[in-house]
Chains A and B, each alone.
Chain A
Amino acid sequence: MSDKTKIHILDSTLRDGSHALAHQFTAEQVTRVVRSLDDAGLEIIEVSHGDGLGGSTLTYGFSKQSEMELLKAAASVIKRAKLAVLLLPGIGTKEDLKMAEGFGAKVAQIATHVTEADIAEQHIGLAKKMGMKVISMLMMSHMGSPEKIAEQGKLVESYGADVVLVTDSAGALMPHTARERIAALRSAVKIDIGFHGHNNLSLAVANSIAAIEEGARWLDACTCGLGAGSGNTATEVVAAVLDKLGYDTGIDLWKIMDVAEEVVRPIMQKPVRIGKASLTMGYAGVYSSFLLHADRAAEKFGVDARDILVEIGKRKLVGGQEDQIIEVAMELAEKKRQTPPTSRASA
């Protein structure tokens, strides 16, 4: 037994990473990735539509293969690791959770907007009843004050959650603001605390480490930093940093680097990077999953994706409101049409 502090890492390449591929993972790819992550020593491996179970819709994008097929593929090769799924109440339902448990999921991440944890009471309760480990995610944590996060953390603790994650869905937190939120939770709850980062401001690893230093013991990460927006905390990178800092993640560093390089990178359709639109998300505080939707709407209606994202930030849209991106783009296009070019130039 090592006397090093244990950090629990959930690899979400096949869930949050799914956003970067517009939810087009195949069962064959899932099999390969799960087998290699399992072999690299990952503790928990998550497989779901990017927007959680039941996310395969016109609004969020249809999955190439059903969640049942993908979970079945994952369960068929997983050995040491635990299989996890994500559920967003309002999108997925308790029935989806039962289906996933039936296919071997042992961990349930239940995510709500940072102020709305009370819509998850039944789902957390059901997952606990089925014997699953429950990780509660408070999404868009940058929109909730530390006090609000403490209050919501207490709620999910009372519902039975085992872990609560400060979830930086917009990649808008910075080390000190991440730290304040972890500290607020630490003084409010007895359950474990964790952090889920996005790299829109190139701070995902730095924020994760700040969270660990403040007492967080759980991290979400994606191999190759795959994920919505500019991607998530890269599993292989954070594993290396934690190793250097003297923490125990159970991950074989060489092996996870190989997984990133040889298994996941070839699947990626394009490199995950900090582009002007995804940087704007971190800057304006916009839900990272909106990226591809905003890019598509920008092209379709001839407007700048950054203008769409800034407007979405102003309207305080939350996770799940992808449907309104088109409407925002249409309004911006209409405004552009009505504004003569000369006055725009002088504006």
Chain B
Amino acid sequence: MDKVRAAILGSGNIGTDLMHKLKRSRFLEATVMAGIIPESEGLARARDNGLITTHEGIEGLLALGDKFDIVFEATTAKAHLEHAPLLKKAGKVAIDLTPAAVGPYVVPLVNLNENVGEPNVNLVSCGGQATVPCVHAMREVAPVEYAEIVASIASKSAGPGTRQNIDEFTDTTARGLEKVGGAARGRAIIVLNPAEPPVLMRNTVYGIVEDGDPEKIRKSIEDMVRRTQEYVAGYRLKARPLVEDFPGDKGKKKVTVFVEVEGAGDYLPKYAGNLDIMTSAAVKVGEEIGKHLAAGTWHRKESMEARA
């Protein structure tokens, strides 16, 4: 099949890492990068890699509308709120890596199929991409009454946007654990660690589940981790998941999962697994959407109006 053409909106670190990952894709081809600074290094790198570039932001991008079918949004939540309706009007599917959450949350192996036809999908947060699969895997065996995660990331991998809006991470990730992971209640914590050399992204995922067979729970999580590795190679368990009786609550189990994420080192440094899992998940989502577009099975829903 012909590759589906993708534009990258945003010429920063995330946009550049996306470009590198898209070069390896069997289903997508990066054709355009849009930024807002003419002398941007990101745009120069994109030109070196054969992409058409514009420094006129969303207007410049829309003027190149015949060159792409889907758009990766790698700017800011504020900018995406302006971009989203324009992209929708132009008939371009938006894959949103910002916390804007205009469209529904998606985690590739968990709920993409439920969101076929959405004009805009959102990648939750790095913590969400790293932990929701584990909660979903528990949920496949037993109802999850409560899910809690602690994400530790290297200080160097947290940009000013994350730092100034740290509550956004905790709130968004907790909602992701509920809406996508299927936990009745979700809670998220983030810790920045400044150690040198920088630490890899580390996540602990806890679930309190109704009684379930411990071996089945462990296996379900291990299967999910293996499948996630297909699009984030550096996603791995640090130890076998712990399944224990939850004290004081007869029959309930406490599940603890230790996950580490090492980045692919495409453009972003390897320790920034938290950023790598976002760009990797975005590409995976883009590829699935691309396959649908190529096959003519991506029927548009008018969910944005319904939501508004």
Interface of A with B (CB < 8 Å)? 57-59, 89-91, 93-95, 113, 115-116, 118-119, 121-122, 315-324, 326-327, 330-331
Select which of B193, B239, B254 is within 8 A of A318 by beta carbon: B193
Select which of A59, A119, A121 is within 8 A of B150 by beta carbon: A59
Distance, CA A118 to CA B159, complexed state (A): 11
Distance, CA A122 to CA B167, complexed state (A): 9
Interface of B with A (CB < 8 Å)? 146, 148, 150, 152, 155, 160, 163-167, 169-171, 187, 189-195, 202, 204, 206, 208, 238-239, 242, 254, 256, 258
Distance, CA A323 to CA B242, complexed state (A): 13
Asked whether, in the complex, the Cβ of B189 is within 8 Å of the Cβ of A91, the reply is: yes
Residues on the A chain within 8 Å of B170, using CB:
90-91, 93
Asked whether, in the complex, the Cβ of B166 is within 8 Å of the Cβ of A119, the reply is: yes
Asked whether, in the complex, the Cβ of B190 is within 8 Å of the Cβ of A90, the reply is: yes
Closest 10 CB pairs of A and B: A323-B204, A316-B195, A320-B191, A93-B167, A323-B150, A115-B194, A90-B190, A58-B206, A119-B166, A58-B148
Residues on the A chain within 8 Å of B206, using CB:
58-59
Asked whether, in the complex, the Cβ of B167 is within 8 Å of the Cβ of A57, the reply is: no
Asked whether, in the complex, the Cβ of A321 is within 8 Å of the Cβ of B164, the reply is: no
Asked whether, in the complex, the Cβ of B155 is within 8 Å of the Cβ of A122, the reply is: no
| CB-CB nearest in chain B for A62 | B248
Asked whether, in the complex, the Cβ of A324 is within 8 Å of the Cβ of B189, the reply is: no
Asked whether, in the complex, the Cβ of A115 is within 8 Å of the Cβ of B155, the reply is: yes
Asked whether, in the complex, the Cβ of B194 is within 8 Å of the Cβ of A318, the reply is: yes
Distance, CA A59 to CA B147, complexed state (A): 11
Residues on the B chain within 8 Å of A59, using CB:
148, 150, 189, 204, 206
Asked whether, in the complex, the Cβ of B187 is within 8 Å of the Cβ of A57, the reply is: yes
Asked whether, in the complex, the Cβ of A89 is within 8 Å of the Cβ of B239, the reply is: no
Residues on the A chain within 8 Å of B171, using CB:
93
Residues on the B chain within 8 Å of A326, using CB:
242, 256
Select which of A58, A94, A116, A324 is within 8 A of B202 by beta carbon: A324
Select which of B146, B150, B165, B189 is within 8 A of A122 by beta carbon: B165
What number of residue pairs across chains A and B have CB atoms under 8 A from each other? Answer: 83
**Secondary structure type dominating chain B contacts:** strand
Residues on the B chain within 8 Å of A330, using CB:
239
Asked whether, in the complex, the Cβ of A90 is within 8 Å of the Cβ of B256, the reply is: no
Residues on the B chain within 8 Å of A320, using CB:
150, 152, 189, 191
Distance, CA A58 to CA B252, complexed state (A): 14
Kindly provide the distance from the CB of A203 to the nearest chain B CB, expressed in whole angstroms: 25
Q: List 11 A-B contacts (CB under 8 A).
A: A59-B189, A59-B204, A90-B170, A93-B167, A93-B170, A118-B163, A119-B164, A119-B192, A121-B163, A320-B189, A326-B242
Residue of B166, B187, B204, B254 with most chain A CB atoms under a 10 A cut-off: B166
Asked whether, in the complex, the Cβ of B195 is within 8 Å of the Cβ of A315, the reply is: yes
Say yes or no: A57-B194 contact (C-beta < 8 A), given A90-B166, A324-B204, A326-B256.
no
Asked whether, in the complex, the Cβ of A89 is within 8 Å of the Cβ of B238, the reply is: no
Kindly provide the distance from the CB of A98 to the nearest chain B CB, expressed in whole angstroms: 11
Residues on the B chain within 8 Å of A318, using CB:
191-194
Asked whether, in the complex, the Cβ of A327 is within 8 Å of the Cβ of B258, the reply is: yes
Residues on the B chain within 8 Å of A323, using CB:
150, 152, 204
| CB-CB nearest in chain A for B204 | A323
Select which of A57, A94, A115, A327 is within 8 A of B189 by beta carbon: A57
Asked whether, in the complex, the Cβ of A317 is within 8 Å of the Cβ of B148, the reply is: no
Distance, CA A58 to CA B148, complexed state (A): 7
Distance, CA A320 to CA B163, complexed state (A): 16
Residues on the A chain within 8 Å of B165, using CB:
122
| CB-CB nearest in chain A for B162 | A119
| CB-CB nearest in chain A for B244 | A300
Given contacts A90-B189, A113-B193, A119-B166, list 16 more A-B pairs with CB under 8 A.
A58-B146, A89-B166, A90-B190, A90-B192, A116-B192, A118-B163, A119-B164, A316-B193, A318-B194, A320-B152, A320-B189, A320-B191, A321-B150, A326-B256, A327-B204, A330-B239
Distance, CA A93 to CA B168, complexed state (A): 9
Say yes or no: A317-B238 contact (C-beta < 8 A), given A59-B150, A119-B166.
no
Select which of B152, B155, B258 is within 8 A of A321 by beta carbon: B152
| CB-CB nearest in chain B for A112 | B192
Kindly provide the distance from the CB of B258 to the nearest chain A CB, expressed in whole angstroms: 5
Distance, CA A321 to CA B258, complexed state (A): 13
Say yes or no: A113-B192 contact (C-beta < 8 A), given A93-B171, A94-B167.
yes
| CB-CB nearest in chain A for B165 | A122
